[in-house]
Every structure is written in structure tokens, then in C-alpha cells.
Amino acid sequence: MQKGRLSVLKTPLAILFFSVVAAACVIGFSRNLPAQAASDAEYRRMRVFTEALAEIERKYVEKKSPEELINAAIKGMVSSLDPHSSYLTPEEYKELQVETKGSFTGVGIEITTKDGILTVVSPIEGTPAYKAGIKAGDRIVKIDGKLTKGMTSMDAVKAIRGPKGDKVVLSIMREGEARLLDIPIVRDVIPLVSVRHKIIEDGYGYVRISTFQENTTSDLVKALRNLQTQKIPLKGLVLDLRNDPGGLLQEAVGVADQFLEDGVIVSTKGRLPGQEMVFRATGSMTAGDYPIVCLVNNGTASASEIVAGALQDHSRAIIMGTTSFGKGSVQTIIPMDDNGALRLTTARYYVPSGRAIQAKGIVPDVVVAFEPPPEKPNKKEKFHGIREKDLNGAMKAEEDPEAENKNKDEEETDDKLYMTAERLAKDNQLRRALDLLKAWQVFEKVAKTKYSHGATTEER
């Protein structure tokens, strides 16, 4: 915490009392009460606060500075509102600004408080947490052996993050498991590549959005243009929003805008008139008129639910998977004088049909639960006998330039654009999405043929 205006509070309590009361008046506690009554009520409550602060300073078993105590009081006040509101110290505020720009050091999970327990919204794809097997819905009971009961989500983030290369152990409670699972994770720099794209097979594209940060919309535009300029025209697209914890509202609007010609994308409503906003499609969409299947699951939250809800309500995509997380609130970052900030829930958002998804989520059009691929049995290597290459002093095999180039080409193709068969084989939801897109093409042909035959019969 930076020293400055708050550091003077370490001197006379009269100054501290004046500062706290002045702050209360600036915040505007008196908005809904008659002026004099509000002033008296606030004065009495703030006097109790300063008395408690003075007693803690004088008598608590360990020495605590006013700065620490006031920060804790603000954190407690804000965290009592809802799981997503929090007070950010200057250091935490800086970290948040870095995150939205593209990278941070940690394990790569989005967490919230659900029923008083720290809960994983989703692991970010490709991060240490994702590779360690952390799943959406996991409940974090301990962090490095310390119980998380009573810990805010911001405190938990602080405990989980640390220097690159250091290890943190998360003790989690998982549905279907009889005991706590201790999962060690090595911290690393988390580069947030928010948009990835592949060709599943000729004519069928895949776009994965893992989070909504600065440049997500522009990265999506590049991905769509790349897929749409291949030799074989795009017949269908899978938009994967699974385990996407959300992010910036304006980027969610920008992403949905790439798929919609017109109409409402999302609306927000709060207590103040300025918080009632309607975001509409601008008509500058990048996507073609091919069919789209949008994949969601219980880790699809916030901004990603806005996109899924808009596509569903405008019948632009079939939503497939399992019901999404259900975070239908908007948080506003309000900078404070101490260089910290309030992350405050200021509005609820509504999808185009007027549905509020808070605590309900987006219900898929086609429900398909994820089926983890069966674990491969440990195969013992078979003994093939002694071969020429095993003999002492045997000459090495000559390199086959043709085979080497072929393998290199295949590797480059897989890495660059085409999805591997192994990747597809491990994901039953993605396979179902591809099947649906293919069936779509068949139904279109059948419908056209039927219409054509009907017209011929009438002419006769």
C-alpha cells in the first residue's frame, strides 16, 4: 500500500475521525434520508467506528496500523455486498489492469464465492491449473494448507498467485469424490491468448475464445477472415465458449457484433439512469451466413454468456453443451484516491429476449454432457527380438529426405490450422457439434429437393 494521505491517520484520532466522516459524506450515505437526520445518524455510526478503531489500536494483542485496519474495514464492507464486488489495493488494481491487457503470473483460474465457499468458475485453457486437472465447479477448501473459510475471492487470488516457478497446493472438494484432492500447481506467466482457431476438417471451422480481454474482437475478426479465405468454403463453424470466465463487456458486445446483422445484443439495468444501456449490432459483421454451433458449459460465465445468449435469442446459433454458470451482473471499476479501486456490481444484464440469467445461466438448445476420454491402460512394451540396429557398431540408417519432408509438412499443417484427429477424438461435445453441422447441410439439401419436386408436380 502506498504511503500518503492515509499515513497521516497514524497521528491524532481527531484527524482520523474527521477524515472518515468526510469520506462518508463524499460517498453519499445521506442520499435517501432528510439532511439533518442523515447527518446525525452517520455521525453516530462513524463515531462507533472510530471508537472501535481506537480500541483495536490500543488493546489488540498485536500492533496494527490504522492503514491496515481501514483497508480491512473497506474490504469487509464491499465483500458483504455480493461475491463479485471487492476493494482493490493499489497493487491489486495494477494487477487487474495488466490482466485485461494480456498476461499475469499465477496458475490460470477464475474463482468466485458460491454458498460461502471459494469455487472455480473455470480454468483457463493451456495454463498450469488446466494442465493439473482443475475443473469448473471445484471448491477450494485450502490453499497451501490454510483454510479458505471466510476468505474473499480477492484474498484467495493473492494467496494463489506468486513468483514464477513456485508451487502452490490447492485442496479441493470435487463432486463425486469422497475425499479432498490435494493438487500441486507450479506458477507460471499466464499469456492470455484469447482467440484460437482451427479447421476441424475441410469446410468446418473452429474458434475458441478463452477470455474477453483487450483485442479479443480484433483477434476474432482475423480468425474468421483466415477461416473464410481457405480454398474450401466454410460450411459451418463451431464457436467454443466452454470454460470462458468472461471479461470485458465491450469485447463481448464486439464479438457478438461479428455474427449479427442487427438487433439488440445485451441491455443493462441498474439503480441509476446512466446504468440503463442497450447495446445493438452495428451491421459490421465478419461472419458469413453459414450455420454455427456454440458450445457452453458450467464454466461459461459473464461476458461469454452475453455472446451465447445473443446468438441464441437471434437464432443465429444452436447452443450445445450444459447450462452455463449464470453470472448476470455487471461490475464497474471505480478508481479511488489511494490509487486503489472499487470493483462494484452496478447493474444486471439481460439478453435480447429480456431474460435475466443471474443464477440461472444459458440453457442449451441441445444438451450434451462432456464425457472424459477413457484413460489409456499402461501398455508394456513388447519384446521384438534383436534387430540390426541393436548390434554393437551397427551402421546408422540413412535419412530419408522425402519421408522427413512429408512428416515436417504434416506437423506444420496440424500445428498451423488443421485440428488433429486425436484432439477431436477426446472431445465428444465437439464431435456432436460437427455432426450437427454436417446434418444441417444434409437437411438443407433434402429441403431443397423436396421443394423442387413439389414445384414440378404443381406445374403438371
Give the residue numbers annotated as catalytic, written as ranges. 302, 313, 327
What are φ and ψ of residue 186, in 5° steps? -95, 125
What are φ and ψ of residue 213, in 5° steps? -125, 180
Residue whose C-alpha cell is 464465492: 113
* Residue 346 host element (H or E): strand 341-350
Helix then strand count (H, E) for the chain reads: 12, 19
Beta-bridge partner residues of 318: 293
Strands (DSSP E) found in 152-304: 167-173, 181-186, 188-191, 195-201, 204-209, 236-240, 264-270, 277-280, 292-296
Beta pairing class for 318-321 and 292-296 = parallel
* Phi-psi label, residue 435: left if phi above 0, alpha if psi -120 to 50, beta otherwise: alpha
Alpha carbons 131 and 224: distance in angstroms, whole number: 28
Residue 335 Cα to chain centre, angstroms: 23
* Residue 335 host element (H or E): strand 329-335
Half-sphere exposure for 55 (CA within 13 Å, toward CB): 6
Burial label, 124 (beta-carbon count in 10 A; 0-12, 13-18, 19+): buried
Alpha carbons 459 and 147: distance in angstroms, whole number: 78
Q: Which three cell numbers stand for residue 290?
A: 453459414
